[in-house]
Amino acid sequence: MTAPNGCPVSPEAADFDPFESAYQLDPPEALRWSRDQEPVFYSPKLGYWVVSRYADVKEIFRDNQVFSPAIALEKITPVSQEAQDTLKRYNYAMNRTLVNEDEPAHMERRRALMESFTLDELKHHEPMLQSLTQEYLDRIIDKGEADLVDEMLWEIPLTVALHFLGIPEEDMDTLREYSIAHTVNTWGRPSKEEQVAVAEAVGKFWQYAGKVLEKMRQDPSGHGWMKYAIRMQKELPDIVTDSYLHSMMMAGIVAAHETTAHASANMFRLLLENREVWDDICGNPALIPNAVEECLRYSGSVAAWRRIATADTRIGDTEIPKGSKLLIISASANHDDRHFENPDDLDIYRDNTTDHLTFGYGAHQCMGKNLARMEMRIFLEAFTRRLPQLELVPDQTFTFVPNTSFRGPEHLWVRWDQRQNPERRDP
């Protein structure tokens, strides 16, 4: 078997399947052979070139002219006719947002819409996030056992996402179903039957986004990224277009919600699996921001991203023809020992942790990174203070929604002896 550049496909490359359990359970481990032997390879099962080393992944993120982000939200599994018809019934017309827009349109929009992400603006969300976190913790604190994902880590980032966008907090459960459908629709491998159900949910999500937008247009005053974008549309109608606003409403919910929910679940799992690190941050909360960053490096919620080559080019020693699709595995890059010393150690004192590529890099680097960091920090501050004795329920099996990119356990069972709660001993 040969790759599109005429080179033979190695047996490991021929076997690679990101929808199988090795990659789902541990992406950096599943790509170790590639980092060591074949850092750029063609995957015939996927029809993509896969890139696994830090320097290559970073360079691809950096050069958004040769490596266009246009396919970042393309469905990775071809859609059946029936599913396409279903989407058509809902007038589904997801267009470019920011993340998959080329220059110069991308940078004009990014600049026009940046204000809501400044640290000063983000401060508006902190009191709400603090009280929400305490409220959810109050609900479980005397139970002694909880599924952190179901009982907290899914809903709080969703509420924060809606707050950030300026959307009223309603239809939470429906939105939860919709956003999972969006992930499967974009990065998953649904069967033919599943595709239709997924398309139904995605179509409803699209319509919902449109309705909320219409409501907001009637009064776009006040805080919220979408409201701000509607106001900016009046000033810059050619840059902030109608189609963009509708797509942004839907993509914005997913970008802000699932990424952060998964990152938080990964973080709790990882810290509780590394007890000495957990105990360190309980003893010294000033270490929490470092711990957040190291968890984002070690077990980020976005494992891989996509680009398409706009010209014949090379990545390292590998020739890549124009039009090639690339799956760049940031989770693997973050464990590359060419860049991170002892990358498989969770080390919250590491001095180059923030070099990780979980938020991407360059012109498209995640705009919401500081909001995500703030959420993760506040969760840790609350838990290390109120439940330092927290531990994982032993022998649980972690499951993941099979897809290439968004990664976090569907459930995370933790337990604690409620008689040891610091606030019971010292109310």
Site residues (CB under 6 A) for ligand HEM?
61, 69, 98-99, 110, 164, 255-256, 259-260, 263, 300-302, 305, 358-362, 364-368, 371-372
Q: How far is the CB of 418 from ligand HEM (least distance, A)?
A: 30
Q: How far is the CB of 32 from ligand HEM (least distance, A)?
A: 22
Taking the least distance from each CB to ligand HEM, the nearer of 110 and 411 is 110
Q: 224, 234 in Cβ contact below 8 A?
A: no
Q: How far is the CB of 97 from ligand HEM (least distance, A)?
A: 7
Taking the least distance from each CB to ligand HEM, the nearer of 220 and 300 is 300
Taking the least distance from each CB to ligand HEM, the nearer of 111 and 419 is 111
Q: How far is the CB of 306 from ligand HEM (least distance, A)?
A: 9
Taking the least distance from each CB to ligand HEM, the nearer of 91 and 118 is 118
Q: How far is the CB of 160 from ligand HEM (least distance, A)?
A: 8
Q: How far is the CB of 278 from ligand HEM (least distance, A)?
A: 20
Q: 257, 157 in Cβ contact below 8 A?
A: yes
Taking the least distance from each CB to ligand HEM, the nearer of 77 and 116 is 116
Beta-strand pair 67-68/145-147: unpaired
Phi and psi at 102, nearest 5°, equal -85, 170
Taking the least distance from each CB to ligand HEM, the nearer of 54 and 61 is 61
Q: CA 410, 304, 348: angle at the middle one, nearest 5? A: 75
Contacts of 396 (CB under 8 A, 6+ apart): 411, 413
Q: Tell me the residue nearest to ligand HEM as measured from the CB.
A: 368
Q: How far is the CB of 230 from ligand HEM (least distance, A)?
A: 16
Taking the least distance from each CB to ligand HEM, the nearer of 87 and 258 is 258
Q: How far is the CB of 318 from ligand HEM (least distance, A)?
A: 21
Taking the least distance from each CB to ligand HEM, the nearer of 227 and 364 is 364
Distance CA 152, CA 175 (A): 15
